[in-house]
Amino acid sequence: MKAYDGYLIDLDGTMYLGKERIEAAPGFIQRLKDAGKKHLFVTNNSTRTQEQVAAKLRQMDIAAEPEDVFTTSMATAAFIREHNPASRVFAIGEEGLFDALEKEELTLAEENCDYVVIGLDTSITYEKLAKACLLVRAGAKFLSTNSDRALPTDAGLMPGNGAITAVISVSTGIEPTFIGKPENIMMEQARKLLDLNKEQVLMVGDNYLTDITAGIRAGMDTLMVCTGFTRREELPFLDPKPTYTIDTLTEWEFK
């Protein structure tokens, strides 16, 4: 096992499962801090602000400050600002997305937009989708915070942001640029925030299709923990395989 200076850590399935904390999570973060490692929580959840995510973690006795949290909404807003800080943006989403766009000082608009951004919105309406379609057809660049098709909830799998985004891509025939895991855009931004090279960073997560694939595409080593989405029985069929696979985070030793 190699020594890593920085850790990118997924949340749902890795730190908690819905509203339930994963038992090994607080100790893992404490040991990471004691070992003097850098870290960032990276989440495809676009609906919450970094402050709200940190508060949720602290409620579960998992040490977290707002600046330890990097959401796909923050990555999306940073991406737009990097390309053109004067952009006019039409956004569908919840507080986490609007908060991130505001922090990057981007202008929200409903006409003559440079970008259309889609994040999960549980109050989605036909009117919002129609507006997004018209703007994309008129030439606005089409971004989506993440391609997650389904969202695990207590009631079962609900439509995820990928499903909402698909309404617009199917209707217009135009594919969006996705920002969140497994795309490289968010991973590269997270790596830059850690101020480390990809060889120094380990991506930790429970989902092979998002977290581990994101790490592999970003050229990082990966640690899959089987407390969430991907089951250990699937390991023989995964290609390429995660660098490491463990059943619980207590098994991980910081070097």
CA 48, chain centre distance (Å): 11
Residues 8, 10, 40, 162: which binds Mg ion (CB under 5 A)? 10
Nearer to Mg ion by Cβ, of 18 and 156: the residue is 18
Q: Is 12 in the site for Mg ion (CB under 5 A)?
A: yes
- Extended strands (E) in the chain: 6-9, 16-17, 20-21, 38-43, 69-71, 88-92, 107-108, 115-118, 141-144, 150-153, 156-159, 177-178, 201-205, 221-225, 244-246
CB 140 within 8 A of CB 71: no
Q: How far is the CB of 103 from Mg ion (least distance, A)?
A: 24
The residue among 101, 190, 186 whose CA lies nearest residue 147 is 186
What pairs with residue 203 in β-bridges? 8, 222
114 counts as catalytic:
no
Count residues near Mg ion (CB under 5 A).
Answer: 5
12 counts as catalytic:
yes
Closest residue to Mg ion, based on beta-carbon distance: 13
Nearer to Mg ion by Cβ, of 135 and 204: the residue is 204
Query: 156-159 and 150-153: which strand pairing?
Result: antiparallel
Residues 4, 8, 9, 13: which binds Mg ion (CB under 5 A)? 13
Residues 165, 207, 222, 227: which binds Mg ion (CB under 5 A)? 207
Nearer to Mg ion by Cβ, of 22 and 106: the residue is 22
Nearer to Mg ion by Cβ, of 94 and 206: the residue is 206
Q: Is 176 helix (H, G, I), strand (E, B) or coil?
A: coil
Return the active site residues.
Answer: 10, 12
Residue ranges that bind Mg ion, judged by CB under 5 A:
10, 12-13, 206-207
